[in-house]
Amino acid sequence: MWQATVYTLFPEMFPGSLGQSIAGKAMQQGIWNLKSVNIRDYATDKHKTVDDTSYGGGTGMVIRPDVVHAALSANLHPKSKLIYASPKGRPLTQAMIRSWLADYPDGLGILCGRYEGVDQRVLDYWRENHELEDISIGDYVLSGGELAALVMLDACVRLLPGVLEKSEATTNESFELDLLEYPQYTKPQIWNNTVVPDVLLSGDHKSIAAWRLKEAEITTQTRRPDIWKNYIANQKTGKK
């Protein structure tokens, strides 16, 4: 069973959306498990204090290193991948998700910050001793790392063996082939005076594949020139 552990001050936010649909069904089937660790449980004073003012001044509070360290030490599997959800981290990619599942089959641990973040010393310690990695889901600021953790876990769970019925569902999607996905159509064939492209009704699988590739290339070039640039470079070098 693939084990996900989230370290948070708001454990009631989990499983959240992960308890529904594909991820929720997979959890019920025992394909994966989610444990939410309340960081506050590891505070040692009678008030269960988890944060304090920032040295050097400034607004906002910082999560204490001793409390975070105690929570991680008591719960983290020694062979799991450890992530700190942070806007300062590397941008999340589909390739990154696949590498986590391949390199860390025992599971994933995600530390969720709040307030002004987590004391740098505990992050440095776990980076040196457990290869903690900062990961960002986008160039914007959230109230905490919990929503980012939900995004990362959803992306991981859907790729676990047995979660999706058809393997093609994970290979023909946006980012899997360094392109955004081609347009999709379903019934009715005519809607709002527009018709499904003829090639999709032809039954000619080779022509359909060529059309989908062309549409994916057009969409990527138009909407994500950064991805298109990498795609062209990889095509020239033969890299897949």
Answer with the residue of higher pLDDT: 239 or 153: 153
Q: Let me know: does 129 contact 75? Beta carbons within 8 Å.
A: no
Gyration radius of the chain's alpha carbons: 22
Bridge partners of 111, per DSSP, are 7, 84
Alpha helices in 29-89 (DSSP H): 65-75
Domains and CATH numbers, the chain: 2-157 (3.40.1280.10), 177-237 (1.10.1270.20)
In the chain, beta strands by DSSP E: 2-8, 32-38, 51-53, 61-63, 81-91, 107-112, 133-136, 190-191, 194-195
- With a cut of 80, say whether residue 235 has pLDDT above it: yes
pTM, entire model: 0.86
Q: What is the pLDDT of residue 171?
A: 54
Please, which residues have CB within 8 angstroms of residue 173's CB and are 6 or more apart in sequence?
A: 181
pLDDT in tens, 150-200: 999 999 999 999 999 765 455 555 556 689 999 999 999 999 999 999 999
Mean pLDDT of the chain: 93
Give residue 138's region: left, alpha or beta (phi > 0; psi -120 to 50): left
Task: Name the burial class of residue 227, with classes exposed (0-12), middle (13-18) and buried (19+) by CB atoms within 10 angstroms of its CB.
Answer: middle
Q: What is the pLDDT of residue 239?
A: 62
From 172, 191, 189, 190, select the one nearest 181 (Cα to Cα). 172
Ranking 1-5, 20-24, 27-31, 161-165 by mean pLDDT, the lowest is 161-165
Q: Average pLDDT, stretch 20-34?
A: 97
Phi first, then psi, for residue 2 (nearest 5°) are -80, 125
Bridge partners of 191, per DSSP, are 194
CA distances from residue 3 to 6, 69, 130, 190 in whole angstroms, order as listed: 10, 20, 17, 46
Q: Let me know: does 117 contact 86? Beta carbons within 8 Å.
A: yes
Phi first, then psi, for residue 52 (nearest 5°) are -160, 175
Answer with the residue of higher pLDDT: 133 or 165: 133
Count CA atoms closer than 13 A to 112's CA, side-chain side. 26
Pairing label, strands 107-112, 133-136 = unpaired
Q: What is the pLDDT of residue 151?
A: 98
For the chain, percent of residues with pLDDT exceeding 70: 94
Q: Average pLDDT, stretch 11-15?
A: 98
